């Protein structure tokens, strides 16, 4: 994904958050790496990248909603949505 596409998506999301009055809300974002079992359960095959250690799934919780993203870069984060948007998107952990 190129920088222009990321910037456009970021801008649209910022507009949506402002429209929903969530931009300045005191919302905590908790992101953590899931274990392979939490992410995909216990499949019969053992050759999935998440099981052999190449990728991890991050899970973020905002209010009562959760979202997941695969990444090759582990990251834990606790902060506000404004702080999320201040993260530089130069590595996979921040982008996830």
**pLDDT digit string (tens) for 27-65?**
667 778 888 888 888 888 888 888 887 788 888 888 888
* Six-digit token string for 88: 């530089």
CA distances to 7, 82, 92 from 12, in Å: 9, 14, 20
Per-residue pLDDT at 65:
84
d(CA 38, CA 76): 16
Enter the pTM of the model: 0.69
Domains of the chain, residue spans: 25-95
């Amino acid at each position: 994904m190129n920088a222009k596409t990321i910037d456009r998506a970021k801008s649209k999301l910022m507009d949506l958050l402002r429209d929903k009055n969530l931009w300045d809300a005191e919302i905590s974002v908790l992101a953590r790496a899931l274990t392979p079992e939490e992410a995909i359960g216990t499949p019969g095959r053992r050759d999935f990248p998440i099981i052999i250690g190449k990728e991890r799934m991050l899970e973020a919780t905002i209010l009562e909603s959760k979202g997941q993203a695969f990444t090759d870069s582990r990251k834990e984060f606790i902060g506000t949505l404004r702080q999320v948007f201040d993260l530089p998107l130069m590595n996979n952990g921040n982008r996830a």
